[in-house]
Amino acid sequence: MKLKSGDKAPDINSTDQNGNPVKLADFLGHKVILYFYPKDDTPGCTAEACSLRDGYADLLAKGYKIIGVSADSDNHIRNLPISIIFHSRYY
């Protein structure tokens, strides 16, 4: 399933990088940014992650919740204050 900007997100049920359950349905009524990245530790991933990290406080102040979605099963991004979930179905 390919998603485009503005598409209604499917219900995602997964676990985050810390083993906590994450269900997109739990964020109903919130502004959510789904951050999809194709591969850990690549220049594009790093640039996007740094942008989210640098704007994190501002995004939270505006009421956004951020969920990263990775195709990598062994997630290396642990230094961001956002939930990163593994879900290969959306790539």
Residue with tokens 């997630």: 75
Based on C-alpha coordinates, what's the Rg of the chain?
A: 12
Among residues 22, 24, 34, 45, the one annotated as catalytic is 45
Q: What are phi and psi of 44, to 5 degrees?
A: -65, -45
With beta carbons less than 8 A apart as the criterion, state whether 31 and 47 touch. Answer: no
Residue 45 a catalytic site member: yes
Catalytic residues: 45
